[in-house]
Amino acid sequence: MTEVEPAHSLAPLLAIWLPIAGGILISASGVPGLFLSRRSAGGEGVSAALHILGATAALAGAVLSLGSGSPAVLDIAWGLPLGSLRFELDGLSAVFLPPLILVPALGTVYGLRYWRQSEHPTTGRKLRAFYGLLAGSLVLLTMARDGVLFLFCWEGMALSAFFLVTTDDQDREAREAGWVYFAATHVGTLALFGIFSIVHAMTGSFGFDPLPRDAAPIGAGSAVFFLGLIAFGLKSGLMPLHVWLPGAHAAAPSHVSAVLSGVVLKTGIYGLARVTWMFPHPPMFWGAVLLALGMVSGIVGVMFAIAQHDLKRLLAYHSIENIGIIVMGLGLAMLGRAMARPDWIALGLGGAILHVWNHSFFKSLLFFSAGAVVHRTHTREIDRMGGLAHSMPVTAIMFLVGAVAICGLPPLNGFVSELMIYLGLLRTLHPEGTGPLAGAAFAVPVLAIIGALAVACFVKVFGAVFLGAPRRDHAGEVREAPAALLVPMAVLAALCIGIGALPAGVVPFLDRAVETWETGPAPRPQSLAQLAPLGWVTAIAVAVWGGSALCMIGICRLVRPHRVARIGTWDCGYAAPSARAQYSASSFAQALVAVFRRVVRPREHSPRVHRLFPRRASYRSHIHDVVLDEWIRPAIERISRLAMKLRALQTGRVQIYVLYILLAAIALVLSNVPVIDLLRRMVTR
């Protein structure tokens, strides 16, 4: 026993120091490579090794912390005038860490082959340096408990993400996406300044701490909440604030897209969870606002996704959809806190956090496999792919796993987290005298539509990219992705399958997070193990895997090889079938886009046929982002046009400027003269 004692006292120290040390190590992982020459490939190995070492340390610390009951704290006096160096790893921070550590670490392995130094001599070193900085600041960010420290980490993340999006800075599209992102993220930072100033005015410190009811009046509290919604909504891509997201995800290298979509967005969710954690007594409308925003984001996100032609843009819009689902869970938890309903809190927040994990895993899996496809076919246009399941069979299976998971279908992980949110929403149906709250049940059919639309979208993507015949000639020469790309995918696919089959394994972590988050007066939340039918989920997953495998074996027995004839696809006897006559992704989506044309507003350029023998014609359709291209860009253009009018003042003549100085001096003198007083005296004499 005496030997165990020191280990016990060591555990909290390790739990805080390991993630910090790991975070710093990851941040610095790309630095040694900067000192090597452009031609040298040594930096790649060093940065990957350092990154993985740091990730292992950080992950160990996070698991230690999740295992122990109490939060680990590190508070050091800081020489700077503002704030203090305070890190704390409680249940809420720790539960976000595993995906935040794991996905970038897998991405760095992927990057070894995807963005080789020898193939990208000018950008490789820069990419790795900022990639490490991004991944490291993510880890430190979730633990920072002081406002100023948080802002440092936040800016570290935001700026390195900017340089990653613009990795390919010769590309005009990447530069533009980078600038939109840059502007968006700094609007968010401005809102963060607002939050910390208000909190400082209320409590006298910049720290994140739960605010007692009397310290947080409803007005100031709501200001903090809505500023948080802007800052963290911008980061996580919540619907009207998502403008930077599709472009940035599409332009970045694929492993960076995976990190942006799988992980960086989640810091916004972490921020929302942390800000709401500060208010034990929220008014009910906060929860309602979150729930409504989540629904809008979910539905509109997936509608836009269906209409996309670019593989990575499409996946980016799905991130908006999934963030919507997560925010719906968070909104339900807020309603639960306002109504003192522990079961809503547990199912809503637990489901939201599990969806954070799940989305990190399946979305990174999808971006990794999409990246492998882009790497081999050199295009992101879905309609120029096709038939890749023949040439890239393993990548196809990986993408399929991700697709089934993101649609929330059993037996994979997406189903488990959506089921929890569904169950929580359904619980708003029954209590006596619900009044307006029964309206929350309308989120159930909304979630169902989101699920059905996601199915439609991923049938389209998988079908158009991997199935059918290649739509271009050289698509037939495409080879399977190399092992360095496939291994990270396999790890993520295994996680998707594992969580889908055995959710009980992660539920203790979720319970810890829910307990930490619940600072309000509601009774102690029950364990999710009692609220959600986890045993049934496992049973169904095993049954679906086993049963489908058995049916597959059965049908393969029946389809005897010697009685199989191989012919061409039935084409109604058409004499000259061509792969280009296949149903394309755009035509597949056309029916749905037509149903939602009021929201999505597709632009179509179709040829007019006005003679008997029509000439060559072409048809094009494209989808704008309604918020960015129809609201924000015109508004900014109008503002800059107004600002241009001010240029009339700047003539460039020195005499005119001297006149301005003179006028200003007169104005200053006059401002000291009590004009009103003088006038009054003149009138009254």
Partner 1 sequence: MIAMIDLIAHVLLLLLMPPLLLGVIVKTKAAFAGRVGAPLLQPYYDLIKLFQKGTVLSRTTTWVFLAGPTVTLFAVMVAGLLVPLSGRPAPLRFAGDFILFAYLLALGRFFTALAALDTGSSFEGMGASREVTFACLAEPALFLGLLALARLSGGLSLTALLGGQVGGAWIAAAPTMVLVVGGLFIILLVENSRIPFDDPNTHLELTMIHEVMVLDHGGPALGAVLYGAAVKLFVLSAVVARLMVPVASERPVIHWPVFVVSMLLVAVLIGVVESVMARLRLLHVPNLLLGACLLTGLGFILLLGSSS
Residues 543-582 that bind partner 1 (CB under 8 A): 543-544, 547-548, 550-552, 554-556, 558-560, 563-572, 579, 581-582
Determine which residue in the list 95, 278, 315, 464 makes contact with partner 1, applying CB under 8 A. 464
Minimum distance, C-beta of residue 83 to partner 1, in the bound complex (Å): 45
CA angle 138, 141, 144 (to 5 degrees): 160
Of 487 and 540, nearer to partner 1 (C-beta) is 540
Cis amide prior to 674 (ω within 30 degrees): no
Stretch that binds partner 1, among 241-249, 438-446, 627-635, 649-657 (CB under 8 A): 438-446
Instruction: Identify whether the C-beta of residue 401 lies closer than 8 Å to the C-beta of residue 412.
Output: yes
Minimum distance, C-beta of residue 116 to partner 1, in the bound complex (Å): 30
The two structure tokens encoding residue 342: 């522990």
Within 8 A by CB and 6+ apart from 306, the residues are 453, 456, 457, 460, 589, 592, 593, 596, 600
Minimum distance, C-beta of residue 245 to partner 1, in the bound complex (Å): 23
Of 564 and 673, nearer to partner 1 (C-beta) is 564
Of 142 and 413, nearer to partner 1 (C-beta) is 413
Minimum distance, C-beta of residue 414 to partner 1, in the bound complex (Å): 10
Of 115 and 399, nearer to partner 1 (C-beta) is 399
Of 227 and 443, nearer to partner 1 (C-beta) is 443
Determine which residue in the list 49, 187, 190, 429 makes contact with partner 1, applying CB under 8 A. 429
Stretch that binds partner 1, among 130-138, 190-198, 451-459, 640-648 (CB under 8 A): 451-459
The two structure tokens encoding residue 582: 């296949």
By the rule CB under 8 A, 339 interacts with partner 1: no
Minimum distance, C-beta of residue 437 to partner 1, in the bound complex (Å): 10
Stretch that binds partner 1, among 171-179, 274-282, 317-325, 383-391 (CB under 8 A): 383-391
Stretch that binds partner 1, among 276-284, 333-341, 445-453, 674-682 (CB under 8 A): 445-453
By the rule CB under 8 A, 662 interacts with partner 1: no
Q: How far apart are CA 188 and CA 186, in angstroms?
A: 5
Of 442 and 660, nearer to partner 1 (C-beta) is 442
Of 192 and 592, nearer to partner 1 (C-beta) is 592
Site string for partner 1, 511-550 (x = CB under 8 A): ----------------------x--x---x--xx--xx-x
Of 353 and 454, nearer to partner 1 (C-beta) is 454
Token pair 């997936």: residue:
302
473: part of which helix (H) or strand (E)?
Answer: none
If one counts every other C-beta atom within 10 angstroms of the C-beta of residue 603, the result is 9
Of 278 and 499, nearer to partner 1 (C-beta) is 499
**Nearest C-alpha neighbor of 20 from the set 121, 153, 115, 147:** 153
Cis amide prior to 436 (ω within 30 degrees): no
Q: Tell me the chain's radius of gyration from C-alpha atoms.
A: 28
381 SS3 class? strand
Minimum distance, C-beta of residue 308 to partner 1, in the bound complex (Å): 16
Considering only residues 582-611, where is the footprint of partner 1 by CB under 8 A?
Answer: 582-583, 587-592, 595
Q: How far apart are CA 414 and CA 412, in angstroms?
A: 6
Question: Which segments of 293-386 are extended strands (E)?
Answer: none
By the rule CB under 8 A, 463 interacts with partner 1: yes
Within 8 A by CB and 6+ apart from 247, the residues are 173, 176, 177, 180, 181, 313
Minimum distance, C-beta of residue 261 to partner 1, in the bound complex (Å): 22
Q: How many residues interact with partner 1 (rule CB under 8 A)?
A: 82
Determine which residue in the list 71, 468, 503, 520 makes contact with partner 1, applying CB under 8 A. 468
Three-state SS for 9-27 is: HHHHHHHHHHHHHHHHHHH
Of 24 and 540, nearer to partner 1 (C-beta) is 540
Residue count (the chain): 685
Determine which residue in the list 63, 202, 339, 455 makes contact with partner 1, applying CB under 8 A. 455
The two structure tokens encoding residue 280: 């034990």
Minimum distance, C-beta of residue 345 to partner 1, in the bound complex (Å): 17
The one-letter amino acid code at 434 reads T
Instruction: Identify whether the C-beta of residue 150 lies closer than 8 Å to the C-beta of residue 144.
Output: yes
Give Cα 199 to chain centroid, integer Å: 27
Of 6 and 573, nearer to partner 1 (C-beta) is 573
Minimum distance, C-beta of residue 565 to partner 1, in the bound complex (Å): 5
Minimum distance, C-beta of residue 576 to partner 1, in the bound complex (Å): 14
328 SS3 class? helix
167 SS3 class? coil
Determine which residue in the list 54, 91, 247, 386 makes contact with partner 1, applying CB under 8 A. 386
Q: How far apart are CA 99 and CA 20, in angstroms?
A: 16
The DSSP symbol for 609 reads -
Q: How far apart are CA 65 and CA 527, in angstroms?
A: 19
- Mark 517-549 as b/e (b = at least 16 C-beta within 10 Å): bbbbebeebebbeebbebeebbebbeebeeeee
Minimum distance, C-beta of residue 400 to partner 1, in the bound complex (Å): 8
Minimum distance, C-beta of residue 332 to partner 1, in the bound complex (Å): 14
**Nearest C-alpha neighbor of 338 from the set 279, 272, 291, 420:** 279
Of 215 and 449, nearer to partner 1 (C-beta) is 449
Determine which residue in the list 130, 422, 509, 517 makes contact with partner 1, applying CB under 8 A. 422
